[in-house]
Amino acid sequence: MKRRNLAWMAGAAAGTAMLIFMIGLHREEQKIQQEIAASVVRFHVKANSDTRKDQDNKLAVRDALLEKIEELLDENSDQDKEETEKILRRHLPELETCAEKVLRERNCSQSVEVSFGESWFPQKTYGEYTFPSGNYEALKVTIGEGDGHNWWCMLYPSMCFPDAFHAVPDEEGEETLEKVLSDEAYDSVLRHGKLRFSFFLAF
């Protein structure tokens, strides 16, 4: 009987310890995501639908806006995350006009809205960097109904790639990312969102 009780107590203790560990891990992951979100600005383009034409329109708008954004940010080469956000907010009408011009030139009458605010992102990988799912500040572009496959990238630090499968991270963007994140958060991003934890049970 005593052995059974001891075995039950040991099992209960192990289960409790594991539960505490999992709760702690979840909280740590949330903390890391919030730190990353506070340090970056993302870019989100939503296509009208998944038809070939709508997806091509999305990519055309994306390319034009990336070129325009690069011009705007190059004029303020020393900007940080807050300054990047200010520049984007200040030029929202200009960016929306640019996107609309691209669509009209492609004989597309769909509406397009360019805004800046908080947006939910799934886990995404840019080159060798993986960013956890969660809410991030982002420049958002919605074409038409916005029901098609989306396109994501990072505006600050600069990590926008036309081809995510052959992406070569911008060296300056990499250096900036390492500077703005803590060692733990940067390590998590490089380890595809996995945190390093040591877990010991002693009885």
Phi-psi region of 73 (alpha: psi -120 to 50; beta: other; left: phi over 0): alpha
Beta bridge partners of 126: 129
The residue count of the chain comes to 203
Beta strands in 76-133 (DSSP E): 112-121, 124-126, 129-131
Main-chain phi, psi angles of 49, to 5 degrees? -155, -175
pLDDT for the residue numbered 203? 33
pLDDT digits (tens, 9 = 90+) for 101-115: 999 999 999 999 999
Sequence ranges of the domains in the chain: 1-39+181-203, 41-170
Residue predicted with more confidence, 88 or 15: 88
pTM: 0.75
Average pLDDT over residues 75-82: 76
Q: Are 153 and 159 in contact (CB under 8 A)?
A: yes
User: What is the Cα 8 distance to its own chain's centre?
Assistant: 45
pLDDT at 169 over 90: no
CA distance 89 to 106: 26
